[in-house]
Amino acid sequence: MRNLNIRHIDLNLLITFDALYKERSVTRAASRLSLTQPTVSGMLKRLRDSLDDDLFVRTSHGIVPTPRADAIAPRVASLLDEIGLLLAPDDFDPAGSAFTVRVCGSDYLLHTILDTFAEKLLQAAPKARVSILPRPAEGLARQLESGEIDLALSDRELAVPDLPARFLYRDDFVCLSSYEDFADGEDITLDRFCELEHGFVDPTGGSFHGPIDDALASVGRKRNVVLAVPGFAMLLDLMKSRCLLAFVPVRIAGAFDHGFARVRTPLELPHLEIVASWHPRMTRDPKHKWLRETLVSIANP
């Protein structure tokens, strides 16, 4: 690629490139930038001339980035973020700011922290909007990078590697029983534990195996899991009509009025370490820092 003089590059061209890369459509990019389609097409031509590359190739489904566009897109996005921080005021005023926050997390997190977070955020920032999303099956790192998701909450073991993360709280597990012949705090033998039927939570609803089963397998035992559901609220509701044992986090056990006995098992139970993750480009952003501090204040009141 020929040498470029930065004085010949219009910042607006980089903004246009960023919009084209994210939208994959000249029409949608024009709408995003509040410009006409011919104006964006003209700016794309100037980009191609400046960078000596097609950058985007037209297809029947929109425009597809070239390898050169893929290579520079993260750096352009990071540069625009840095410029935005340079021009933005140092302080963030939640009460007077209009913005949208997108946070993803599991059913468990919805009932233990995200509901309170949304309530507190909207009280402090009445012009804001909050979107609570399920954790995507794939592509979370890309969505954090693009700004489609601002914060991702999860157990530390499920956090995206190499991204900044803030510890929020630890939660332990407790075994609940809807069998009527157990008293609260009663011990259960390993034989009896393996004989009875169990319910299990997996976000996809498609697995019958978890850390408890790994612990049992290490001593040559196996439990009888007959029900797998995607969320704890559903599991506790189903336990009202069927006798089951189920491991749930302590915060979930305390958040619902279920009336089930807590039984003591001979197993060494795992625990959760809940963290909030984000893309490093947002680490110094004043609004994002305020969001993270708000989360921490809820997790550790």
User: Has this prediction a pTM greater than 0.85?
Assistant: no
pLDDT tens track for 75-97: 898 888 878 766 666 678 999 99
Strand 165-177 relative to strand 245-249, pairing: antiparallel
Going by pLDDT thresholds of 50, 70 and 90, the confidence category of residue 150 is: very high
pLDDT tens track for 242-275: 999 999 999 999 888 788 999 999 888 888 999 9
For the cut 50, the answer to whether the pLDDT of residue 1 exceeds it is no
Largest CA distance in the chain: 80
CA distance readout (Å), 149 to 35, 52, 71, 190, 258: 26, 33, 22, 43, 33
**Residue listed under structure tokens 């060494």:** 268
- Helix, strand or coil, per DSSP, at residue 236: helix
d(CA 270, CA 197): 20
For the cut 60, the answer to whether the pLDDT of residue 3 exceeds it is no
For the cut 60, the answer to whether the pLDDT of residue 5 exceeds it is no
**Average confidence score pLDDT of the chain:** 89
Going by pLDDT thresholds of 50, 70 and 90, the confidence category of residue 241 is: very high
Instruction: Write the CB contacts of 202 (distance below 8 Å, at least 6 apart in sequence).
Output: 208, 210, 228, 229, 230
Q: What is the pLDDT of residue 9?
A: 66
Name the strand (E) or helix (H) holding 180.
none
d(CA 246, CA 112): 18
d(CA 93, CA 181): 56
Q: How many CA atoms lie less than 13 Å away from 25 in the CB half-sphere?
A: 9
Q: What is the pLDDT of residue 2?
A: 45
pLDDT tens track for 18-43: 999 999 999 999 998 999 999 999 99
The strand pairing partners of 240, in sequence order, are: none
d(CA 174, CA 281): 38
